[in-house]
Amino acid sequence: MRHTISVLVENKFGVLARVSGMFSGRGFNIDSLNVAPTHDATLSRITTVLNGDGAQLDLCIKQLRKLVNVVEVVDFTEGQAVERELVLVKVRADARSRSEIVQVADIFRAKIVNLSPDSLIIELTGTDDKVSALLSLLEPFGILEIARTGRLALKR
C-alpha cells in the first residue's frame, strides 16, 4: 500500500539521514523523497511516498515522532491532502513532430520551457496520474531525459 508521509523537522545537519534511515530500517522502499525549507527558515518539510504495510508504518511513525529534531509527522490518507508533482521532460522534436508535441503539452496545460532544433523541454505540474498520462503520450516521440520532483503534499 502507498503512503504519503509529511515530516516537519528542524533544519539541521543529519536530520534527513536519520528520517530516511528510519524508513529503510523498517523495510520500506522510498518511492519518492522531497525536502525543502518552509516559510520558517529553521524548519524543513520532508515529504515521502512509501510502499509498505500499514501496521509497520504505524510503528515507524511512532519512532519518527521520538526523534529529537522531528516537530510533526502526518500520514495523509486518500483525499486528505493536496498533492502535486513537477516533471521536466526532454522530448525529441523535429520539424514534423514539433506542432503535435506542442498540442499534447497544451492539452495538459504544460509549458514549453526550452526549444532547440532537435528537442523540446516540457514542464508539467500535477498529480501522479496526470504526469504519467503525459509521459505515455510523449513516449512515441522519443523521451530523451526526465527529471521528477516526487510528490509534494499539504493537508487540506
Q: Provide the pLDDT confidence category of residue 27 given band limits of 50, 70 and 90.
A: confident
CA gap 18, 35 in Å, rounded: 13
For the cut 90, the answer to whether the pLDDT of residue 150 exceeds it is: no
- pLDDT tens column, 69-91: 999 999 887 778 889 999 999 99
2-76 and 82-155 share one fold: yes
What are the domain boundaries of the chain? 2-76, 82-155
Chain length of the chain: 156
Q: Provide the pLDDT confidence category of residue 51 given band limits of 50, 70 and 90.
A: confident
CATH tag, 82-155: 3.30.70.1150
Of the two residues 2 and 95, the one the predictor is more confident about is 95
2-76 belongs to which CATH class?
alpha beta
What's residue 141's pLDDT? 96
